[in-house]
Amino acid sequence: MIDVRPFASLGGADHGWLKAKHHFSFASYYDPARMGWGALRVWNDDEIASRSGFPPHPHDNMEIITYVRDGAITHEDSMGNRGRTEAGDVQVMSAGTGVRHSEFNLEGDTTRIFQIWIMPDGRGGDPYWNARSFPKDSRNGEFAVLASGRKGDEDALPIRADARVLGATVKAGESVTYALEPGRHAYLAPAKGRIEVNGVALDARDGAAIRDEAEIVITAREDAEIVMVDSR
């Protein structure tokens, strides 16, 4: 089963400094048919204007993954962390018992991100933050595990959930394959480029909710950059 969520059908809001599109119910956007997918709760497609961003605000009991598509994001939190994550790289904040953070675009141009929230397997735990570089040429033609709570994914940024966040770049005419275990949920979006997923067409920034597909074959119709979540 592959349910395509066209970009034009997504909820969202335009705050001037922030243009947000929501793949799932979020803030003032509510759709009872789009409350999440497996443990995946939020997938926001955000465009943040230069010299603007999210002021300090709290979170708890959520795994928050930021995939930077263009530009860079600068993070600060109540744990004393500060870091700049740029295009192609990933940051993870495991909110645990509670944390306050801010995310600002301090660059001269628009920053574009996917912000992904995954529900943890359990509540509590000390909050933490980390970021890593994942060069796009190192995941050309194959999926790299960017963040994970699954055994064997020790090279990925850790999260407290039975889930993986993966990224791949695929050249036009080439394919990448992923085996989806029975009972798991996959959700993917091409950050750039048109693709086909098991023969189903997606444009850039569309979403696809997938289950009961033993193998996911993604073929790029033009050079593409793909992000996917595999969760329980």
Tell me the per-residue pLDDT of 15-71, one tens digit each, with 9 for 90 and over: 999 999 999 999 999 999 999 999 999 999 999 999 999 999 999 999 999 999 999
Residue ranges of domains in the chain: 2-231
Q: Is the pLDDT of residue 121 over 90?
A: yes
How far is Cα 175 from Cα 137, in angstroms, rounded to an integer? 15
How far is Cα 195 from Cα 59, in angstroms, rounded to an integer? 34
How far is Cα 12 from Cα 26, in angstroms, rounded to an integer? 8
CATH fold group of domain 2-231:
Jelly Rolls (2.60.120)
CA nearest neighbour of 205 among 5, 70, 28: 5
Q: Is the pLDDT of residue 136 over 90?
A: no
Tell me the per-residue pLDDT of 139-177, one tens digit each, with 9 for 90 and over: 999 999 999 999 999 999 999 999 999 999 999 999 999
Q: Is the pLDDT of residue 231 over 90?
A: yes
**What mean pLDDT comes out for the span 77-97?**
97
**What mean pLDDT comes out for the span 103-122?**
98
pLDDT of residue 56: 98
Residue that the structure tokens 């999260």 belong to = 159
pTM for the predicted model, two decimal places: 0.97
Q: Is the pLDDT of residue 138 over 90?
A: no
Annotate 99-133 with b (16+ C-beta within 10 A) or e (fewer).
bebebbbebeeebbbbbbbbbbeeeeeebbbebee
pLDDT of residue 169: 97
pLDDT of residue 209: 98
Tell me the per-residue pLDDT of 167-223, one tens digit each, with 9 for 90 and over: 999 999 999 999 999 999 999 999 999 999 999 999 999 999 999 999 999 999 999
